[in-house]
Amino acid sequence: MNLQEQISRMKSMMGLLIEEKLPSSTSKLIKELPDKLKQLFFKQWQAKQNPKWHPEGNTLKHIIVVIRRAYHHYPNDPNMIMAALFHDLGKMDTYAINPKTGEPTAYGHEDKSEIYVEEFRDWIESFDGVNVDEIKYLVKNHMKVKPSTWNQMKDKKKEPIKSHPAFDKLMGFTDKLDGGGTHMDKEEMKEGDNRKVKCKCGWSWKLKDGGDDPYTCHKCGKVNSKEELTEKC
């Protein structure tokens, strides 16, 4: 190994040891995703969802909304923000159409999502204050504590979930973050900007639905300036 290769290797190793703070907003987080993870993230646009539970339409839009909510409710908890990012990334892998209802399904997506957390462990651990095992717990169990499942579950199966130190966070994830729809809650919404804008990619939205990133396109991920967007009537 020559001197230049040794220097490069040392820089790489130092980079893994230096922890950075999590990006401060949804758009910045998306912008900093590793290429492979970014491809997986935007691939979720193809994973349609049952409008009964997710009127926002597809998994990509839902994940973005959940991340926005995480930044609002848990701005100082990188584990909740990372769980929001990863919780539904397994949906495209498990996507199917229920032959009885004709609606989209993604049974077992949380297990695949947990695998992705482990796959991107090194990137996650490059940020300060993260606990990958806690993130995996939140991602793996976020469907189990949905009332329709939790209320039918036997106490024996509930116990290992309830006894985890992050159980309260798990319940908060379900109650505050993982609901359907593109809106924030009433407290978050307050007085919003009803103007509708359009990105160059063709996607349009109301500024008040943009959360902490009103000018970021939630389809292509482009962080627009105000001037780059076309206002729609």
100 and 46, same structural domain?
A: yes
Residue 12 located in a structural domain? no
Same domain, 175 and 228: no
165 shares a domain with 98? yes
Q: Are residues 170 and 203 in the same domain?
A: no
> Do 205 and 141 have their domain in common?
no
pLDDT digits (tens, 9 = 90+) for 63-89: 998 999 999 999 999 999 999 999 999
- Band of the pLDDT at 2, cuts 50, 70, 90? low
Q: CATH code at 29?
A: 1.10.3210.10
| pLDDT higher than threshold 80 for residue 147 | yes
Give how many domains the chain has, as a whole number. 2
For the stretch 7-43, pLDDT in tens is 445 544 444 444 578 998 999 999 999 999 999 999 9
- pLDDT score of 7: 47
Residue 175 structural domain: 24-182
CB 136 within 8 A of CB 87: no
The residue assigned the tokens 């490069």 is 8
For 196, phi then psi, to 5°, come to -105, 135
Q: How far is the C-alpha of 88 from the C-alpha of 205, rounded, in Å?
A: 22
126 lies in the same domain as 198: no
DSSP state of 143: T
pLDDT (average), residues 34-59: 88
pLDDT tens sequence across 150-204:
999 999 999 999 999 999 999 999 988 987 544 444 444 344 456 777 888 887 8
Distances (CA, A) of 221 to 59, 70, 92, 197, 229: 14, 18, 18, 15, 13
CB 188 within 8 A of CB 206: no
Q: Are residues 106 and 34 in the same domain?
A: yes
Mean residue pLDDT of the chain comes to 82
- The better pLDDT of the pair 2, 85 is held by 85
Do the beta carbons of residue 149 and residue 143 sit within 8 Å?
yes
d(CA 1, CA 9): 10
131 in a structural domain: yes
Outline where 97-179 has alpha helix (H): 109-119, 121-124, 132-141, 147-150, 155-162, 167-172
Report d(CA 144, CA 147) in Å as an integer: 8
Phi first, then psi: what are they for 216, rounded to 5°?
-90, 130
Examine the domain organization and report whether 139 and 166 are in the same domain: yes
Taking alpha carbons only, the member of 54, 49, 23, 65 closest to residue 104 is 49
Task: Please indicate, yes or no, whether the overall pTM of this predicted structure exceeds 0.75.
Answer: no
> Residue 157 corresponds to which tokens in the numbers above?
């199966």
Amino acid in the structure at residue 219 = K
**First-to-final CA distance of the chain:** 63
Side chain identity, residue 69: R
